[in-house]
Amino acid sequence: MSEHELTCGIEIHQQLDTTKLFCSCRSELVESDEKTFLRRLRPTASEMGEMDRAALLESQKRLFFRYQAPPGVSCLVESDEEPPHVADVEATDTVLTFATMLNARIVDEIHFMRKLVIDGSNTSGFQRTALIAMDGHLDLNGRKIGIQSICLEEDAARKVDAGDGEITYRLDRLGIPLIEIATGPDMHTPEEVKEVALRLGTLLRATKRVKRGIGSIREDLNISIPGGSRIEIKGVQELRLLPLYVENEVKRQRMLLRIRDILSERNVAEVGYEPIDVTDIFKDCPSKVIKGALKDKGKVIAVKLPGFAGVLNGDGGSLRFGSELAGRARTRGVKGIFHSDELPAYGIEQPYVDALNERLSMQDGDAFAICAAPKRKAMEALELVVVRANEGLVGVPEETRDPLPDGSSRYSRPLPGAARMYPETDVPPVRVDEERLKKIEDNLPELPDEVIERLVSQYKVNDQQAAQLVRGGKDELFEMLAKGSDMPSVAATTLANTFPEMERDGLNVDKIDDDGLLSAFRLLSEGRFAKEALPTLLREMCSGVTAAEAIEKLGLSAMDSDEALSVVRGIVSERRDFVIEKGMAAIGPLMGPVMAELRGKVDGKEANALLAKCIKELIP
Amino acid sequence: MSYSQTLSDRLDSLQAANGDVLRVTSGDRTYEGTLMPHHDFSDPDVLVLKLKSGYNVGIRIDGADGIELVQRPEAPIRKQKEKTVAGDKPRIAIIGTGGTIASFVDYRTGAVHPALSTDALVSQVPELGDLAEIDSKVLFSIFSENMAPQHWQELALAVANELNKGAEAVLIPHGTDTMGYTAAALSFMLGEIPRPVILVGAQRSSDRPSSDAASNLLAAARFAIEQDVAEVCVLMHDSPSDDSFAVHFGTRVRKMHTSRRDAFHSINVAPLANISPGGVAVNHPHRRKGDVKVEARIGLEKDVVLLQYFPGMRPWHFERAISGSHGAVVAGSGLGHVNKEMVEFISKAIYGGTPVVMTSQCLNGATNLGVYDTGRDLLKAGVITVDDMLPETAYVKLMWSLANSDDVAKTMRTPIANEMSERREMHV
């Protein structure tokens, strides 16, 4: 059996469109920062009943969590001032429905657990979660993708601010039900990852009980390559970027393996942590970062990295170990580090580099990293730099990474160990009996293939477009647009063609939300502009303007027929001889100049009719 | 609900106990996991297994399903607790009574235990050891709804003993449901005390990261050491925030919310003290620390009833309750009223020698039986009025007075532990 170039599993978290999981608050995000209170969380005793003093100190360093408790979308349950109510039946049924759709084995009795999380994102200090089903599968292009588990859990509070010793969370998101689906490590190409995610998204939407829009679905990727390690990229919100994250992570792991081989070939030994205070060298350095740090009574600390020259930033930028080091350093609250492969630059000129080289007794092939910050922070950051450098001798360290909007990712923390879970004794177990399952089986939602057939027969769109709409999760939006405007074919073309084209052209299509698109279609059906102008209008809307503003900006206002007729008549009379010579055959050649004048103002069909009319007027 | 007979027999035949690893084969499904205690609300035919992922799942077992014992875990070895070293720090006695503040989860089996030794509680709050030499013991291990007057008596003796042995303070972790009653009882029984006695509760159990147990306990220890206050009091959160606490007189405090952290309020007075990040504000004159020897008077007349008046109350419902008791407290409506029939009935009871104390179910404000006819009739009949005393405090004080005073009416009307006052501040 040949080893795969890449192994990937995904975990999808999708918000359900019901009330909250353990109370009847609305599941909505709001803009309200009133009603706050302060809390602390303490780690609880270990299984052995002992308190880990180090963990305790760590938790106390973080000091306070401030919570905003907006009315209507949070109550005493979210504030951890009242025990949770029974799990929402609709949310539970949605998960049972989804589990049935994926042929997963449903447990006979659902037991909610408390998964310890003490970063403040849950007021209780734990996330409530229940395993509902296991061992399902998904058929994708003839391949079976395993579904390891399907869980029902509560979403966390959202972080709105982080200050010195205090993190602020808003409780509106806390408790929104989430379905969590974990696939097996069964995907082996970036495109396959996207396809599985799309397919799961489509099936989820088929339940009609999931929230839509950015942030309502979040994906975690687990990626490894042969010789590499399991890396988790947590919280991807943009489905279309999934393949890019996978590709970039594969590249990153390959690069790290290459760096390991280079270092091993050079016989680079484990680096010792020997920080040196080099502040005096930089007394008059014009570098902004260094000047700023020194002004705040910081220090410049250096560590030597023997044998690391050229891998921090080398081979035409294909080796970028420096950014790995910087990523680790940043977790200690410093802005970053400078390393020898990138200097002189950033206001640190050659004389400073020379002075550093001398102070650190640099030999050929050695590298250094410096950090300018308050002394303790800088020392801690560089200690981590050394740790990370030594990990580079071994290969790829397991870690959790944050996705960045450009498709790359950034170090966030080490991969968490097994979660500590214990029973949520405040929530009674939920029996899943035959009767309930039977009812769910009898009411399974319309499957994607069925929706495709229906779109074709009901709206007369072609098979390919219908399939594209369903696969892309746009079927519901399509139906809304089609029904609202009574222009199903325009709606289908817009979603199935125009949008992908705009995306290909690098336009920011996220600026057009569902409501924006609906309003564009409403204006279209009101005759405010011609349907030919829709793509232009949408392109304009990608800059963040509303449909109405785009109409104004583009000067697209529909022309009435009289005005249009006189424009066409003018064009025809200018070409009088040609028209008389060609007769009705002049329509084809003249459509170009006519549309150049009327595009966006008059429907193409109507323009064609007007042209025919004017030609007829001329020819005998 | 417990296991069905069949399932229970099968587990017995395997000698399977909670914490054992089992493999269950049900049709084409196989589950392997640690056997968890059966949940009270679980189906009798359901086994709960903790899977390797950490999740518990319930599996319904029928006759055809296979259960195998895979592994029996070794008993966990508990580390020896380090003894707190006696130094020149003050000694704080902690007397455990049970309740939420002392509930915890056994992670191995997932069972929730109602009682945690005070030792374990202190080991969960190691900062206590930085403040004082901690001397802890467990007197009871019960939920506070099961607390009865004989427990108050036993507790009062234990507290007196600790104070007389020179404790800087006595902290009493207590279930919150009846903490107000216990606090009132201790206030009357202990009388003059040389050092503070602070009851502390938690509205969130101490096995959760968000528990208020540790912060309340620490705030109580600090207050006891740093402030020159020698009273029986209750310390709990003053708001939903973990940085504000209120200290209440034991006779003035009432649980006013079923679940919030700041459930405890002082009624008719400001709290004895408010603790905030800005410092401690002491709001009342109070007894200071000293050397007085405690002589606990723990006698209680236990045949006393506390009745809440309601429209439609009929004497015959309560005939036996009152005639069978040696004293009754009524929480009347408004200024302290009951209907006409009840007035006659109460008059008869008083004539028969049963003292009846009138309080108000409004809780806030004093009774005043001079305003309306009903009140005047009750006064004529000899009802004892007690200003703004809480009904629960009056109930405890009546029990205590009946056992410790020759003139019950006079004792009831005389403030002895900050339980009542003639004047109330205007708050606008």
Which pLDDT does position B53 carry in this prediction? Answer: 86
The reply to whether B326 falls in a domain is yes
Point out the residue among B54, B60, B261 whose CB comes nearest to the CB of A419.
B54
Whether residue B108 is predicted with pLDDT greater than 60 in this model: the reply is no
A530 vs A263, higher pLDDT: A263
The reply to whether B192 falls in a domain is yes
pLDDT > 90: percent of chain B: 67
Chain B residues with CB under 8 Å of A42 CB are 209, 211, 214
The reply to whether B83 falls in a domain is no
Chain B residues with CB under 8 Å of A48 CB are 76-79
Same domain, A63 and A170: yes
Distance (Å) from the C-alpha of residue A274 to the closest C-alpha of chain B? 35
Q: Residue A603 CB: number of other CB atoms within 10 A?
A: 18
Which pLDDT does position A531 carry in this prediction? Answer: 83
Whether residue B115 is predicted with pLDDT greater than 80 in this model: the reply is no
The reply to whether A230 falls in a domain is no
Which pLDDT does position B116 carry in this prediction? Answer: 57
Q: How far apart are CA A342 and CA A308, in angstroms?
A: 13
Which pLDDT does position A54 carry in this prediction? Answer: 57
CATH code of residue A314: 3.30.1360.30
Q: How far apart are CA B216 and CA B235, in angstroms?
A: 7
Which pLDDT does position A122 carry in this prediction? Answer: 95
Q: Over range B327-331, report the average pLDDT.
A: 97
Same domain, B189 and B329: no
Same domain, A546 and A600: no
**pLDDT interval class at B322 (50, 70, 90):** confident
Point out the residue among A64, A82, A108 whose CB comes nearest to the CB of B59.
A108
Same domain, A536 and A590: no
CATH code of residue B44: 2.30.30.520
Chain B residues with CB under 8 Å of A34 CB are none
Nearest in space to B330 (alpha carbons), one of B297, B355, B353: B355
Q: What is the pLDDT of residues A50-95, one digit of tens each?
A: 555 556 655 655 578 999 999 999 999 999 999 999 999 999 999 9
The parent domain of residue B107 ranges over 91-282
A28 vs B114, higher pLDDT: A28
Compute the CA torsion angle A243, A249, A250, A254 (nearest 10 deg). 160
The reply to whether A541 falls in a domain is yes
**Which residues, other chains included, contact A570 with Cβ-Cβ below 8 Å and sequence gap of 6+?**
none
Q: What is the pLDDT of residues A400-415, one digit of tens each?
A: 999 999 999 999 888 7
Same domain, B53 and B162: no
Q: What is the pLDDT of residues A184-235, one digit of tens each?
A: 999 999 999 999 998 899 899 889 899 987 789 999 999 999 999 999 999 9
Which pLDDT does position A552 carry in this prediction? Answer: 82
- Concatenated DSSP letters for B107-133? TTT-PEES---HHHHHHH-THHHHHSE
Chain A residues with CB under 8 Å of B36 CB are 423
Q: How far apart are CA A545 and CA A554, in angstroms?
A: 12
- Range name among A112-126, B133-147, B349-363 with the lowest pLDDT average: B133-147
Same domain, A145 and A192: yes
Interface test with A, best of B101, B127, B210, B218 (most A CBs within 10 A): B210
Nearest chain A residue to B241, by CA? A38
Which pLDDT does position B86 carry in this prediction? Answer: 55
- Range name among A169-178, A239-248, B116-125, B330-339 with the lowest pLDDT average: B116-125
The reply to whether A94 falls in a domain is yes
Same domain, A540 and A605: no
Same domain, A199 and A317: no
Same domain, B321 and B355: yes
The reply to whether B145 falls in a domain is yes
The reply to whether B324 falls in a domain is yes
Whether residue A49 is predicted with pLDDT greater than 60 in this model: the reply is no
- Number of independent structural domains in chain B: 3
Task: Report CB contact under 8 Å: A43, B209.
Answer: yes
Chain A residues with CB under 8 Å of B114 CB are none
Same domain, A108 and A46: yes
End residue of a domain, out of A508, A530, A554: A554
Same domain, B142 and B273: yes
- ipTM for the assembly: 0.90
> Can you point out the beta strands (E) in B77-202?
91-96, 104-105, 112-113, 133-138, 169-173, 197-200
Does the reported pTM lie above 0.90? no
- Number of independent structural domains in chain A: 4
Distance (Å) from the C-alpha of residue B217 to the closest C-alpha of chain A? 14
The reply to whether A368 falls in a domain is yes
Q: What is the pLDDT of residues B49-101, one digit of tens each?
A: 989 888 999 999 887 788 999 988 776 555 555 555 556 889 999 998 877 67
Point out the residue among B60, B123, B240 whose CB comes nearest to the CB of A108.
B60
Q: How far apart are CA A408 and CA A247, in angstroms?
A: 9
Point out the residue among B60, B79, B242 whose CB comes nearest to the CB of A39.
B242
Q: Over range A576-600, report the average pLDDT.
A: 83
Q: How far apart are CA B347 and CA B314, in angstroms?
A: 14
- Range name among A95-104, A426-435, B100-109, B201-210 with the lowest pLDDT average: B100-109
Q: Residue B79 CB: number of other CB atoms within 10 A?
A: 11
Whether residue A12 is predicted with pLDDT greater than 70 in this model: the reply is yes
Which pLDDT does position B71 carry in this prediction? Answer: 83
Report residue A257 CA to chain centroid gap.
27
pLDDT > 90: percent of chain A: 62
Chain A residues with CB under 8 Å of B110 CB are 422-423
Task: Please indicate if any CB of chain B lies within 8 Å of the CB of A226.
Answer: no
Q: What is the pLDDT of residues B241-266, one digit of tens each?
A: 999 999 999 999 999 999 999 999 99
End residue of a domain, out of B71, B105, B120: B71
Chain A residues with CB under 8 Å of B58 CB are 107-111, 429, 431
Whether residue B199 is predicted with pLDDT greater than 60 in this model: the reply is yes
**pLDDT interval class at A565 (50, 70, 90):** confident
Averaged pLDDT of chain A = 90
Q: How far apart are CA A45 and CA B213, in angstroms?
A: 13
Q: Over range B298-311, report the average pLDDT.
A: 96
Point out the residue among A42, A53, A421 whose CB comes nearest to the CB of B55.
A421
Given 3-state DSSP classes, what are the helix, strand and coil percentages for chain B, each rounded to the nearest 5? 30, 25, 50
- Range name among A20-34, A35-49, A220-234, B413-427 with the lowest pLDDT average: A35-49
Distance (Å) from the C-alpha of residue B203 to the closest C-alpha of chain A? 8
The reply to whether B79 falls in a domain is no
Task: Report CB contact under 8 Å: B240, A116.
Answer: no
Distance (Å) from the C-alpha of residue B347 to the closest C-alpha of chain A? 44
Distance (Å) from the C-alpha of residue B110 to the closest C-alpha of chain A? 6
The reply to whether A264 falls in a domain is no
Chain A residues with CB under 8 Å of B211 CB are 42, 44
End residue of a domain, out of A554, A577, A602: A554
Q: Over range B194-208, report the average pLDDT.
A: 92
Task: Please indicate if any CB of chain B lies within 8 Å of the CB of A404.
Answer: no
Which pLDDT does position B76 carry in this prediction? Answer: 57
The reply to whether A428 falls in a domain is no
Nearest chain A residue to B112, by CA? A425
Same domain, A525 and A550: yes
Task: Report CB contact under 8 Å: A53, B126.
Answer: yes
Task: Report CB contact under 8 Å: A125, B243.
Answer: no
Same domain, B391 and B247: no
Task: Please indicate if any CB of chain B lies within 8 Å of the CB of A105.
Answer: yes
Same domain, B177 and B253: yes
A309 vs A48, higher pLDDT: A309
Same domain, B170 and B203: yes
Same domain, A288 and A375: yes
Q: Over range A89-113, report the average pLDDT.
A: 96
Same domain, B270 and B381: no
Same domain, B181 and B59: no
Point out the residue among A44, A130, A422 whose CB comes nearest to the CB of B110.
A422
Interface test with A, best of B7, B48, B55, B109 (most A CBs within 10 A): B55
> What angle do helix axes A547-554 and A514-525 make, rounded to 10 degrees?
60
Structure tokens at A254: 């390959």
**Which residue's entry shows tokens 């606008």?**
B428
Contact A49, A225 (CB under 8 A): no
End residue of a domain, out of A535, A554, A573: A554
Which pLDDT does position A61 carry in this prediction? Answer: 56
**Which residues, other chains included, contact B25 with Cβ-Cβ below 8 Å and sequence gap of 6+?**
B65, B66, B67, B68
Which pLDDT does position A56 carry in this prediction? Answer: 61
The parent domain of residue A614 ranges over 561-618
Interface of A with B in 431-460 (CB under 8 A): 431
Contact A89, A61 (CB under 8 A): no
Task: Report CB contact under 8 Å: B210, A80.
Answer: yes
Nearest chain B residue to A427, by CA? B41
Same domain, A312 and A194: no
Q: Residue B216 CB: number of other CB atoms within 10 A?
A: 26
Q: What's the angle, vertex CA B134, arms to CA B128 and CA B137, rounded to 5?
A: 120
Same domain, A80 and A190: yes
The reply to whether A409 falls in a domain is no
Point out the residue among B56, B210, B214 whose CB comes nearest to the CB of A423.
B56
The amino acid at residue A516 is G
Task: Give the catalytic positions of B in this structure.
Answer: 100, 176-177, 255
Task: Report CB contact under 8 Å: B261, A124.
Answer: no
Nearest in space to A130 (alpha carbons), one of A152, A97, A109: A152
Task: Report CB contact under 8 Å: A48, B43.
Answer: no
End residue of a domain, out of B282, B316, B351: B282
Nearest chain A residue to B244, by CA? A38
Nearest chain A residue to B58, by CA? A109
CATH code of residue B112: 3.40.50.1170
Same domain, B219 and B132: yes
Point out the residue among A129, A149, A422 whose CB comes nearest to the CB of B105.
A422
The reply to whether B419 falls in a domain is no
The reply to whether A100 falls in a domain is yes
Whether residue A4 is predicted with pLDDT greater than 80 in this model: the reply is yes
Nearest chain A residue to B49, by CA? A111
Which pLDDT does position B112 carry in this prediction? Answer: 55
Nearest chain B residue to A425, by CA? B112
CATH code of residue B373: 3.40.50.40
Same domain, B320 and B229: no
Same domain, A91 and A141: yes
Sign of CA dihedral B381, B386, B390, B396: negative
**Helix, coil or strand: residue A12:** strand
The reply to whether B391 falls in a domain is yes
Task: Report CB contact under 8 Å: B59, A420.
Answer: no
Task: Report CB contact under 8 Å: B123, A49.
Answer: yes
Same domain, B59 and B155: no
Which pLDDT does position A48 carry in this prediction? Answer: 42
